[in-house]
Amino acid sequence: MDNKNFNADQSIELIQRMIRDTRRNLSSGSSNLFILWGYLLAATAVGIFFLLTFTDSRAWQWLWLPALAAGWAVTWWYNRRRATQVKSYTDRLLEQIWGCVAVVVLVSTLIICLEFVWPVDPLFPALLLICTGLYISGTVIGNKYMRIASAFLLPISIGIIRNTWFNHPNPDGNLIQFAVAVLVGLAGSGYALKRQVKRDAAEASENR
């Protein structure tokens, strides 16, 4: 019985350590990427909104492509620097989740730039997948802020649908909603990860 309890305790400690290691890995690298993407997407959305508002050219929407290319170049360079870091199953799981989010963001961007006829604003699926990624990531690593942020993003994404389907206002206003959402969701999560890892380190030092 004691041996079973000991093994159970070991299993719990192993899971907790894996979560702490994943949080530390995210903080050491991915937290900066969350912050980068939050500010990059928000700045691009706001910039395009003003350019579309004060000019008659829809060609400004193509600014999404160089912005995304710059973000992915920095992400690739950053991840290459961390290539030697040992990755756990949860690390790889989160990478795959955010890889899927990146694909949806790219598809949404192409729909926007090429002005395909689409039943909803292409920002909606991008924001919905970001919301989902935040919730899953927050649940896996035990980050409360990321789960709360995902709950904040969900009504904004639904609001984008409502503006597109029902009252048909200037759809460019959705860019401002999108900017607020990614600042709170992505940039905010990056800062939250850094704070959480600092708390983990402080608790670990107290337990020694």
- pLDDT (tens digit per residue) in 57-79: 888 889 999 999 999 999 888 87
d(CA 193, CA 86): 19
Residue 118: φ, ψ to 5°: -140, 140
| CA 14 distance to own-chain centroid | 27
Query: What is the model's pLDDT at position 150?
Result: 93
The pLDDT of 180-206, averaged and rounded, is 82
Would you give the DSSP letter of residue 84?
T
> Residues 161, 180: contact at Cβ < 8 Å?
no
The CA angle 73-184-113, to the nearest 5 degrees, is: 50
pTM score, whole prediction:
0.80
Residue 145, phi-psi category: left (phi > 0), alpha (psi -120 to 50), beta (remainder): alpha
pLDDT-derived band at 56, boundaries 50, 70, 90: confident
pLDDT, one tens digit per residue, over 92-136 is 777 788 888 888 888 888 887 777 766 667 888 888 889 999 998
What is the residue whose two structure tokens read 């995304």? 68
